[in-house]
Structure 1
Amino acid sequence: MISDPCNDQARLPPLSDKAAVMVLEFLHRFTECFESQYYGEIHRYYEERSQANMETADPPPVDEPLF
């Protein structure tokens, strides 16, 4: 998984309020389009990881209380 991009990048330049909102709106729209285009691939990736986690998880010992 990709690390947090805010932690390993140089500081971003200052923006005006309007410019910050415009960039944010662009990023939201880009993300929507990206998710729409690659929904199948993204869903498949997370589904495979979820199933792998379920298959490799060891069940708790029988004599140990669940809560």
Structure 2
Amino acid sequence: MLKTKIPITSVSHQQHVCYCIRTCNVIFLDVQDNTMQYLERFITILSVWQVVNYNSALQHHEKLN
């Protein structure tokens, strides 16, 4: 299985992507856990389910606003 690395460079990026995903009712993630382990799980969940990548989440979020 191919694993896509999402360019998450900070906790705020992680939370923003989680927010975009929640807004689209695609998948629900707990943004309270800001550990690196969580970030790794987050990236794994995204690559397993191929939900969105960081850029498409941002683009979709911008279209909604």
- Does the pair score TM above 0.5? no
Between Structure 1 and Structure 2, whose CA radius of gyration is higher? 1
TM-score (ref. length: structure 2): 0.31
